[in-house]
Every structure is written in structure tokens, then in C-alpha cells.
Amino acid sequence: MLLLGEVWNPGGERLPAGAVYLQGSLVADVGPAADLKARYPQAKRVRFERITPGVQDAHVHPVYWGQWLDSLDLRDVCDPRAVAEAVARAASRKAPGEWIRGGGYVFDNYPNSRLLDAAAPANPVYLESRDLHSAWVNRRALAAAGVDERTADPAGGRVLRDDEGRPSGYLLERAVELVAKQLPPPRKEDLRRGLADLARRGYVAVQAMGDGPAEASEWVRQMALAGELPLRLAWTLPKSIWRSYTPEKIGEQLHVFGVKYFSDGALTSRTAWMVDTYPSGGRGMPLDDPREQDGEMADVLAAGFAPVWHAIGTRAVRELLNLIDRLEAAGLPARRNFRIEHAQHVTDADLPRLAGLRVSMQPLHARDDQQTVARLLGATDLTSYRWSEIAALPGATLLFGSDAPVAEPDLTGGMAAATRHPLRPAESLDVGSALHAYTTAPAAALGWHREEAPWGRIAVGARAVLALWEDGSLVGRVWRGKVEQVPKQ
């Protein structure tokens, strides 16, 4: 097959009116279109505006994304009757007794269970408000959780009740957990659904971050051994189980490469660990405190895993860099093996210390965090989402992803945010640099550019895992030598 169009390795060569000749699942030739047409006159020809290395999502939670896809998207629905109609439609597709879940609504009042009881008489229903601080449930859900007139309000929560004192179907704050703890845990089906959706969106690989229950690390191995993964999956283990595993690659299906740690929380909940105090007081908090992880990290590095560290606040980033420095001083190869996830807020003093590191960031978080950053850190904050400054550091590798389901794995939206920074225009990237963070960089960050059939660049002998573009949008991928279309979003 001969693919015609502009051939572009982001951050490198660009061949307008170029062509790529595929043989099986390898790139067999690259060059000017006229030359390749003459050389391969029999080849089937397909034309696109642009051909680049395949796109990756460098930070995603496929199990939870699959779970999210299976729940009702009620974002910004304000009328309880509209929500009940959506629930009734969902109930018609569910077996009796199966849970219906969803979230995102914004109500002015607290409805009782009646609309939901009528919409799904045979299914327990659990719906969360947009701010996640309350839940609307039906009688079946209350019964499944054993919540009745004898149930006391938990500390920090309230079960709303009717005149007779019976739970009416609405739960505030901590009381939501009474029902939430009955929800079925994530299943292999969720993982399958999440990965299928990511592949359908045109990703050729995704990097999963300490995802799901402990069994998920077995599910991905089973799927990889059976050749069932619809894209290449890079996997980080939760810290609780990594000692039972070794780094491994199963073909070009699965690459178990890292162990996930959390330096701190998140900005919106003011648990991101900061150097400076929040306007409301406090400085957030460490979770896996990097000041106490030297021994654990030495073990992780000795086992051949990459330590993959969530770090959002300025202090979290600083303490992580201190940890890396201490390990390096002890002769351990920390700098080239660590990965920082998010690195959302970085002080001027710490910025140059990110040189030589792999830094994984999420452009859509900057869009979603606009108001929060202004409110908590001030309108003139200069520490947030320093994409172009980080990309320019010597030896630093900037990787982009979505963190789905925290944000949608929306590549078009991510590219738009990356090239028009939602908070600070000066941090915007050019299209090539943004694309590099979605294609070449994530492959190199995992060492896939050194494999026998390298990933991440279009070159003779490379694996034919490509992205196909029209009008600046991803319209297809080449996966295992075949063109697959991406449905319009």
C-alpha cells in the first residue's frame, strides 16, 4: 500500500508531496510521491493531507475510562425529569438487578426517589451531582445498601428523609458512601471497553497509570497473551503489588514498565502540596512522601522498573526532585528512569532541575483548571503548566496525555489547548512540538525507538503505526499494516 500526503516526523524532517510505502506492518520506503509512484506502480494508493507517526496518550486510566463510558453522561442536565428519561433508556438495555450509574447533573432542589423508581423499577440507580458532593438514588439502590429508617446519618453526611423519617432518595456529602460502597467493582469488561474506545479514537498506544483493582494487572497480561489488545499498552503497576512482577514486554501488545506513586493530591481539592499557602489556609499534603522513599526507590530501580510519580503542587515537585538528587548522589540511575506525571505547578527555582527528565503533562487540564488556578494561585500565577519552558530544557522529554476519565481522551482538544495555552499564551507550543509530545516523545520515553522495528518515527524499517490527518484532525490510524478510520467526534 502506498500512502500519499505530507509526511512529517514532528520535530524533524517534513516531506510535502511525500509518500510512504507499506509492506505488511513495516514501513518499506519513504520519499517524494513521484518517485514512489514510479517505483511501486502496482501498489494500492490512498491519499491523506498528512501522515505522521501514530498518536499516543501518555497518561490514561483505561479501566476507569471504560467504566465512565458505561455510565450515563448527565453533564449539566438541570431537570430531574430529563435525567429520569435517560435512566429509563439505560434501564431498557440492562438486565434486572444490574446497577445504573451516572453523573454530572446540576439541580436546584433535592428530588426524591419517585422519578427514578418509575424509570428503573428493576435496577438500582446511583447518580452523582457534578461536584460529586451529593447523590440521587432510587429505592432499589437504598435497599441494596440496607439504608432504611433505622440508618443514622454518618458523620459529615446526611440522608434526606420523608415526613415518616424514611430515606427519600437523596444523599449529601459522606452519606453518598452508604450506597456508593455497594457499587460493583471495575471488571475486565470495563478495561476492554476503555481500550476499544481509545483504539477507535485513533491511538496506536496508551500508557496506563497504576490502574484499577490489583486484578487489572492480570487482565492485561491475559489479553496480551491472547493478542486481544487493540493497541499497544504500556502499564504501570500499583505500588502495593509491584514486588510480584518483573518488567516485561509481551510482543507489541503489552509493556509493563513502571510503578506508580503519588507525591500529593490535586489542586481543585486543595490537596496539591504547595510551597506557598493557599488563600484558604493550608499547603496541601504529601501522600507517598518523597522524603521517605529512598529505600523503596532503590528497590524499584534495581528491579528495572521506572518510578512513575504523580506530582502536582510546587512542593510535591520540589521534594521529588530532591529525592532524585539524593538517589543520583548515591550512584543510582534515577534521572533517566524517573517519570513525573502532571508537574502542574513548578517554581522558577525548580524549573531548571527538570532537565533530563521525562515530564508527562495534560493540556486539557489547563483548560479545565483555568478558574481554579486564578482563584487559588492568583491571576498572575507563573508556576502553572509550563509546557514550552519544560520542552526547552536540555534533555527533558515532554509527553502529552489526557488522564481520562479526568478529561476526555480528546486529541483535537488537547492539540488546541497545547497550541493556544488556556492560561498563559507564552507557554503555547507550535504544532510540531505539540505533536511531538503525542507521537515521537512517548515512544522514545519507553525506549520503543530502539526496538527492531522502531516506533515513533516514519523511516524505512520502522513499524507502520501511523496517524492520518485531514484538515488538522486525526481521521485514521495505520495499525498492523491496515488503515482504520476514526469516526468523526
Binding site for Zn ion (CB under 5 A): 209, 403
**Smaller CB distance to Zn ion: residue 5 or 210?**
210
DSSP string covering 340-400 = EEE--B--TTTGGGGTTSEEEE-HHHHHHTHHHHHHHH-TT--SB--HHHHHTSTT-EEEE
Identify the CA nearest to 333 among candidates 359, 298, 308, 360: 298
- Report the distance separating Cα 280 and Cα 278, nearest Å: 5
CB of 306 to Zn ion, least distance (A): 16
CB of 271 to Zn ion, least distance (A): 14
Ramachandran sector of residue 18 (left: φ over 0; alpha: ψ -120 to 50; beta: rest) = beta
**Smaller CB distance to Zn ion: residue 254 or 311?**
311
Strand partners, 259: 237, 307
CA 286 to chain centroid, in Å, comes to 22
Query: Which CA distances in Å does 325 have to 40, 296, 319, 320, 329?
Result: 54, 15, 10, 9, 6
CB of 61 to Zn ion, least distance (A): 6
Residue number of the CB closest to Zn ion reads 403
CB of 403 to Zn ion, least distance (A): 4
CB of 209 to Zn ion, least distance (A): 5
Strand partners, 236: 258
**Smaller CB distance to Zn ion: residue 350 or 403?**
403
3-state secondary structure of 429: coil
- Report the distance separating Cα 324 and Cα 333, nearest Å: 9
First to last CA, the chain: 27
- Report the distance separating Cα 364 and Cα 367, nearest Å: 5
**Smaller CB distance to Zn ion: residue 201 or 342?**
342
CB of 14 to Zn ion, least distance (A): 33
CB of 414 to Zn ion, least distance (A): 14
**Smaller CB distance to Zn ion: residue 91 or 317?**
317
3-state secondary structure 173-211: ECCHHHHHCCCCCCCHHHHHHHHHHHHHCCEEEEEECCC
**Smaller CB distance to Zn ion: residue 111 or 401?**
401
CB of 56 to Zn ion, least distance (A): 15
**Smaller CB distance to Zn ion: residue 61 or 140?**
61
CB of 341 to Zn ion, least distance (A): 7
Q: Cis check for the bond before 405: say yes or no (omega within 30 of 0).
A: yes
DSSP string covering 145-160 = TT-STTPPPPTTEEEE
CB of 80 to Zn ion, least distance (A): 32
**Smaller CB distance to Zn ion: residue 223 or 361?**
361
Identify the CA nearest to 403 among candidates 443, 343, 346: 343
Q: Dihedral sign, CA of 194, 196, 198, 200?
A: negative
**Smaller CB distance to Zn ion: residue 52 or 360?**
360
Half-sphere exposure of residue 12: CA atoms within 13 angstroms, side-chain side: 13
**Smaller CB distance to Zn ion: residue 135 or 216?**
216
3-state secondary structure of 218: helix
CB of 308 to Zn ion, least distance (A): 10
**Smaller CB distance to Zn ion: residue 57 or 403?**
403
CB of 404 to Zn ion, least distance (A): 9
Which residue's entry shows cell 495555552? 421
**Smaller CB distance to Zn ion: residue 209 or 216?**
209
Rg (CA), the chain: 24
